[in-house]
Amino acid sequence: STTRHPLVCVNGVVLILLGCDWYVDDFTEKYYFGEVFLITLPIAVIQQVKQDFREPLSWRYPEPPAEEEPQFPPNFELKTPAPVESVSAICGENSVRVEAKNDLLGIGKPVLAADVTLGGCPATGEDSEAQVLIFESELHGCGSQLLTFTYVFTLLYTPSPLGNSPIVRGREVSVNIQCHYQRKHDVSSGLLKPTWTPFIESKSSEESLYFCLKLMTDDWKFTHPNPQFLLGDMIKFEASVKQFQHIPLRVIVDSCVATVVPNVDTVPRYTFLGNSGCLFDSQLTGSSSQFLPRSQDDKVQFEVEAFRFDQDNSGMLYITCSLRATAAASAVTSTNKDCSFADGWRESSGNHRVCSCCDMDCGKGSGSDLLRTGRSTWSSPLEEERTVGPIIVKDRPL
């Protein structure tokens, strides 16, 4: 065979195989060399170098755009929804019928009949044509309250969760329903138009009547500086009237109403004095409330045992009284009196027979006797409403 010089590269070293001859074993197909000489020649060694990225990146996230100031519409006003007239009531002699629209909330969606009750009583019927729920009850049923011949019912709507979810799309609704009936006592507060001033309210004008109603200290000498009381305390009131340059006057307390807000037309309310000078509280609750004997005609003092309205945690009271002036020389009558109840009706002056009408209708007094005194015109009314409050009544600590 022809002599050749094979080259072999091993670990970066070139091996030149030199020999006299070389042959191939045909049987094994292996190459055999004679003498072998190793000659190493240096070659360039190429090493892979890891690229270095330690230089800081010049790229940055872009800055967020500046927030735009919100633009509000000019003269924006929240819409005040119109009252929803969805409940009506018919008061009978012995029963009441209440109709509540299926769309009780006025939002275009009917409520579930099971969610609406009248004082805990379910609907007794449903008018599919009129789309109303019907509730019928006796006056003493379904949790009604009797407030001085006014039966008060409460229509309750408590929305239940929608399907299996924990959400509702409605709100609880409580509607007071009142049935007013002919009363034995003239204690209507429909004509009361008080102007509210805390603690003491009085009104005067030149050469006119001056009415005043205020809270007094326990010794009746001073105006009460802090109208806070505990249950069981006696709240002391003094009503007075003055009219300059005229005949002596007597003040009469025709009626008094207690409320939790300065509005006599709200519920709850408690008429504890009425019928032209009858203090009902002592008769209705067995309290020690009473008129005191008069020391002056132009002043009348009475005290009422402190109370709070049921289910009201504020303990706040406003007392509105209707005061009337009459001539001091006029006689004590069924319409000009100060009557309290203690084992029977008693008048503070001792003329107890004038109190016999307190369980009936005593009529309404007027200032006509003043008009007969030679003064044909007056620059102010002969009767006014005065309010004290807020009065705070707290629980007595145990």
pLDDT at 318: 92
pLDDT, tens only, 90-117:
888 788 899 999 888 776 778 889 899 9
Residues 365, 260, single domain; the answer is yes
Rounded CA-CA distance 54/371 in Å is: 109
Same domain for 340 and 238?
Answer: yes
| Mean pLDDT within 321-327 | 89
Strands 132-138 and 125-127, how do they pair?
antiparallel
> Do 289 and 362 lie in a common domain?
yes
**Residue 11 pLDDT more than 70?**
no
Identify the top-confidence range among 178-182, 219-223, 237-241.
Answer: 237-241
Distance in angstroms between the alpha carbons of the first and the last residue of the chain: 129
Whether residue 137 is predicted with pLDDT greater than 60 in this model: the reply is yes
Q: How far apart are CA 148 and CA 191, in angstroms?
A: 17
215 burial (CB, 10 Å; 0-12 / 13-18 / 19+) is buried
Rounded Cα–Cα distance for residues 229 and 233 (Å): 6
Q: In terms of domains, do 149 and 255 share one?
A: no
- What is the total count of domains within the chain? 3
Distance between CA 352 and CA 372 in Å, rounded? 27
The span from the CA of 303 to the CA of 318, in Å, is 15
Query: Tell me, what's the pLDDT at 286?
Result: 78
Q: Do residue 254 and residue 347 come from a single domain?
A: yes
As a whole number, mean pLDDT of residues 20-45 equals 50
For 265-315, write each residue's pLDDT tens digit. 888 888 889 888 899 888 887 788 899 999 888 899 999 888 888 777 788
Domain membership flag for residue 54: no
Q: What is the pLDDT of residues 362-391, one digit of tens each?
A: 887 655 555 444 444 444 458 888 899 888
Q: Are 301 and 374 in contact (CB under 8 A)?
A: no
64 within domain boundaries: no
CA–CA separation, 306 vs 289, rounded Å? 9
Look at the block and give the residue holding tokens 């929608």: 162
The residue count of the chain comes to 398
Per-residue model confidence (pLDDT) at position 182: 58
Asked if 116 and 154 sit in the same domain, the reply is yes
Instruction: Give the pLDDT confidence of 312-322 residue by residue, as tens digits.
Output: 778 888 999 99
Torsion of CA 70, 74, 75, 80, to 10 degrees: -60
| Sheet arrangement for strand 290-291 | 201-203, 209-216, 234-243, 299-305, 290-291
Residue percentage of the chain with pLDDT more than 70: 63
At 283, give phi and psi (nearest 5°).
-80, -40
Whether residues 219 and 334 fall in one domain: yes
Same domain, 271 and 223: yes
Provide the pLDDT for residue 315. 81
Same domain flag for 239 and 342: yes
Last-in-domain residue among 180, 209, 224: 180
Which residues are CB-contacts of 56 (< 8 A; sequence separation ≥ 6)? none
Whole-model pTM?
0.47
Q: Lowest mean pLDDT: which of 70-84, 222-236, 318-332, 377-391? A: 70-84
Residues 224 and 370 in one domain: yes
pLDDT of 189 higher than 60: no
On whether residue 79 sits in a domain, the answer given is no
Tell me the pLDDT tens digit for each residue of 329-372. Answer: 888 888 888 999 988 999 988 888 999 989 888 887 655 555 44
Instruction: Locate 229 and state its tokens.
Output: 């009381």
What integer pLDDT is reported at residue 122 of this predicted model? 92
CA distances from 203 to 127, 174, 238, 391 (A): 54, 38, 15, 21
pLDDT at 238: 92
Last residue of a domain, one of 180, 215, 249: 180
Residue 375 lies in a domain: yes
Domain-embedded: residue 192: no
Claim to verify: residue 354 and residue 227 sit in the same structural domain: yes
CATH number, residue 231: 2.60.40.4100
DSSP per position, 173-209? EEEEEEEE---SS----TT------SS-EEE--TTSE
Rounded Cα distance between 290 and 38, Å, is 138
**Residue 206: which pLDDT band, with cuts at 50, 70 and 90?**
very low
Domain harbouring 115, CATH code = 2.60.40.3210
In a domain, 313, yes or no: yes
Residue 27 lies in a domain: yes
Instruction: Please check whether residues 156 and 232 belong to one and the same domain.
Output: no
Q: Are 348 and 252 in contact (CB under 8 A)?
A: no
Q: Are 288 and 338 in contact (CB under 8 A)?
A: no
Domain containing 364 equals 201-394
Residue 69, in any domain of the structure: no
What pLDDT score was predicted for residue 81?
Answer: 57
